[in-house]
Amino acid sequence: MREHIVDFLSYLRGTRQYSAHTLRAYESDLKEFLAISKVKSLPEIERGSIRAYIADLQKRKNLSRNSCLRKISAVRSLTRFLVERNLIPDSPFVGLVLPKKEKLLPKFMTESEVSKLLEAPSSIGRFFLRDRALLEILYSSGLRRAELSSLNIGDVDFNGGFLRAFGKGSRERVVPVGNQALGVLRSYLNSRPLRNGGEPLFLNARGARLSEEGIALIVKKWKNSLNWPKRLTPHMFRHSFATHLLNAGCDLRSLQEMLGHKNLANTQIYTHVSLDRLKDVYGKSHPRSRI
């Protein structure tokens, strides 16, 4: 079975062009499935083993419903891959009742919180210019951390105020970037000795490309410097970017393009958290709101 999982992950990496972060999650979930289900060969992947695995997941009190569904999705994708290659006759998921997805509102920072965080990197320390530029670009562009990590210097158009990002499935898009973020980024690049378009935009302490994990550590570092008790991830910059744009009147189609969402439904979740914008529109539009 492990050989088939290796083939499946290679397919996701080469053909579907999944990110390294997603591949690690898939590999971890599939290894867990083998350990719990005791499946060792293809004939053992049948409805009973899948049902037992799902039952085990649902018993875990510390596992959210969406995390449970993510793990099930990894196994389901594997079985689909095996069916397509005629390695198993049909999908063992046919007829199974799966848990419904839990609708969670994205967590985001207020504009005041974002301002405090962007100003946190001071002139103290070797990497303050890099860190400040990184935080500014995260908020100004709404990029995923994998997209940010993969940026090269040549992907930034300082004159036009855009950068070129490669999202899920290596889909390319052009994203606008604010002048303030570009100014800080220019200062960071000017502090580096050698620069060409093919170099990584952000470097780690060894002069190599800054990884997704490195980006998360930088965000955590400056969050801790402000003694914030709340959890903060790079993805919360993306949520904040989207929410603040909608609050300021940005339309959904434009936001969808900037976020790189394939489906508008993925963008619409932010309408549920843009309460300031909804209240403002209501106040200006409803005939009885001003009485």
Tell me, yes or no, if 168 is annotated catalytic. Answer: yes
Active-site residue (options: 130, 238, 239, 277): 238
Tell me, yes or no, if 16 is annotated catalytic. Answer: no
- The full DSSP string for 184-245 is HHHHHHHTSS---TTSBSSB-TTSSBPPHHHHHHHHHHHHHHTT--S---HHHHHHHHHHHH
Active-site residue (options: 65, 164, 168, 220): 168
204 contact partners, CB below 8 Å, separation of at least 6 = 210, 211, 214
Residue type at position 51: R
Sign of CA pseudo-dihedral 121, 150, 259, 215: negative
Tell me, yes or no, if 238 is annotated catalytic. Answer: yes
Tell me, yes or no, if 26 is annotated catalytic. Answer: no
Active-site residue (options: 4, 71, 144, 244): 144
65: three-class secondary structure by DSSP: helix
Tell me, yes or no, if 139 is annotated catalytic. Answer: no
Q: Please give the structure tokens belonging to residue 266.
A: 């993925």
Active-site residue (options: 21, 51, 116, 235): 235
Closest to 77 (Cα-Cα) out of 28, 18, 8: 8
The DSSP call for residue 94 is T
Burial 95-116 (b: 16+ CB within 10 A, else e): eeeeeeeeeeeeebbeeebbee
Active-site residue (options: 132, 239, 270, 277): 270
- Phi/psi for 157 (5° steps) reads -105, 95
Tell me, yes or no, if 24 is annotated catalytic. Answer: no
Active-site residue (options: 145, 223, 239, 261): 261
Whether residue 39 contacts residue 45, with contact meaning beta carbons closer than 8 Å, is answered with yes
Q: Which residues are catalytic?
A: 144, 168, 235, 238, 261, 270
